[in-house]
Amino acid sequence: MSLLKTFTRLLLSTLIFFTTTYSVSYADGGFPVRPGRLLIAPSVSYFFANSQWDSTGAKKNFANNGRFSSVGVTLYAEYGISRRFAAVASVPYVYNMYTQNTAPTSTNSSGLADMETGLRYYLANIDFIYYFSIQGTAITPLYSNNASLGYGQEGAELKLAFSGTGKLGSLSTYFNAADGVRQYFGTNGPIQNRYNATFGLSLDSDYENQVSATVSGIYSQSNDKRFSVIPETNKDFSFLQASIGFGHSFTRETSLFLSGGRFLTGRNTGIGTSVSLAFIYRLDYR
The tens digit of pLDDT for each residue in 246-257 reads 999 998 889 999
pLDDT of res. 16: 47
pLDDT of res. 204: 87
pLDDT of res. 20: 40
Query: Residue 32: is the preceding peptide bond cis (ω within 30°)?
Result: no
Q: What percent of the chain has pLDDT over 90?
A: 78
Residue 143 pLDDT greater than 70, yes or no: yes
Residue 114 pLDDT greater than 90, yes or no: yes
Band the pLDDT of 8: cuts 50, 70, 90: very low
Across 83-87, 102-106, 204-208, which has the greatest mean pLDDT?
Answer: 83-87
Band the pLDDT of 93: cuts 50, 70, 90: very high
- Average pLDDT of the chain to the nearest whole number: 89
The number of beta carbons lying within 10 Å of the beta carbon of residue 42 is: 16
pLDDT of res. 22: 47
Q: Which residues contact 17 (CB under 8 A, 6 or more apart)?
A: 26, 198, 212, 214, 243, 245, 257, 259, 276, 278
Q: What is the pLDDT of residues 215-237, one digit of tens each?
A: 999 999 999 999 999 999 999 99
Residue 2 pLDDT greater than 60, yes or no: no
- pTM check: above 0.75: yes
pLDDT of res. 206: 79
Residue 15 pLDDT greater than 90, yes or no: no
Integer Cα distance of 194 and 213 in angstroms? 17
CB 176, CB 198: distance < 8 Å: yes
Q: What is the pLDDT of residues 25-68, one digit of tens each?
A: 334 566 788 899 999 999 999 999 999 999 999 999 999 999 99
pLDDT of res. 168: 87
Distances 33 to 58, 150, 192, 248 between C-alpha atoms, Å: 43, 31, 27, 20
